[in-house]
Amino acid sequence: MSAKLGVNVDHIATIREARKIREPDPVTAALIAELAGCHGITAHLREDKRHIQDRDIRLLRGTVTTKLNLKIAPTAEMLQFATNVQPDLVTLVSENRQEITTEGGLNVTAKIDELAKFVMTLKSNDIAVCVFIEPETEQVKAAKKIGADFVEFNTGKYAAACDLGSIQEVDREVSAIEDMTVLARKYGLRVLAGHGLNYRNVGAIAAIEGIEEINVGHSIVSRAVFVGMEKAVKEMLEAIRR
């Protein structure tokens, strides 16, 4: 069975926030993405609220009919917001105010006790939990230890290797994600992947046995500017199924 597609609508909000007005609305984009056949909507509520706003997540919670995956940094304020809004899934990500986009996976091994408490609170509120990590053995083991339900492997290094055109590095990154998918599934963790994926490089990741869902944002929104959201999502679904 081919991997599912989660559409990240952050950068629709980036365009809106460039003017701080009401359009384009990430909630409208999410509805169109669902009509085009995607399997879930993801959005990252950053602490600096540079794109997605609290209001967007609240409206998405009321309108998304597939699955809402809220990405947050593991902070007390975000935990309270998430338990209040009740997304289907929370993905814990690392966040750094200076970065242009998420730069790496969360270092779960460095914060086992703190993250375990975080996960327990979310799960006791009936919210499934995912951790966005590098495809590394220690991180997978730590994800299991803190009680996460899912891991999302960071495909950023793979995407960078594709851009460089380094076949050896591409192969190394694909192998790491393949191996870590096997390990995660052995531990009973469900596996997602994303970051930096586009129409050209998504195929090799989508083809990895055991990866349930691919999360894509920037490349879909970039294409949507020219061809429209519906077509951009449909074309990504085709690229995943190829």
Q: In angstroms, give the least distance from the CB of 169 to ligand PXP.
A: 18
Helix (H, G, I), strand (E, B) or coil at 128: strand
Q: How far is the CB of 179 from ligand PXP (least distance, A)?
A: 20
Which stretch, 18-26, 116-124, 203-211, 213-221, contacts ligand PXP (CB under 6 A)?
213-221
Q: C-alpha 39: how far from its chain's center?
A: 13
**Nearest one of 239, 187, 192 to 212, comparing CA atoms:** 192
DSSP 8-state class, residue 100: S
Single residue of 218, 231, 234, 235 touching ligand PXP by CB under 6 A: 218
Residue 129, classed as helix, strand or coil, is strand
Answer whether the bond into residue 24 is a cis peptide, omega within 30°: yes
Q: Give the shortest CB-214-to-ligand PXP separation in angstroms.
A: 9
Beta strands 89-92 and 128-133: pairing type?
A: parallel
Q: Is residue 44 within the footprint of ligand PXP (CB under 6 A)?
A: yes
**DSSP SS3 for 177:** helix
Rounded CA separation 84/76 (Å): 12
201 binds ligand PXP (CB under 6 A): no
Residue showing the smallest CB distance to ligand PXP in the complex: 217
User: Which of 14/63 has CB closer to ligand PXP?
Assistant: 14
Could you give the C-alpha distances from 240 to 6, 92, 204, in angstroms and in order?
A: 11, 25, 9
Does residue 94 touch ligand PXP according to CB under 6 A?
no
Q: Which is nearer to ligand PXP, 66 or 219 (CB)?
A: 219
Min dist. Cβ of residue 216 to ligand PXP (A): 5
Give the x-and-dash track for 53-72 against ligand PXP (CB under 6 A). Answer: ------------------x-
* Integer Cα distance of 139 and 130 in angstroms: 12
> Segment contacting ligand PXP (CB under 6 A): 50-58, 133-141, 190-198, 233-241?
190-198
Q: What would the two tokens of residue 16 be? A: 């809106």
Q: Please report whether residue 95 would count as binding ligand PXP according to CB under 6 A.
A: no
Binding site for ligand PXP (CB under 6 A): 8, 10, 44, 71, 91, 93, 101-102, 132, 152, 194-197, 215-219
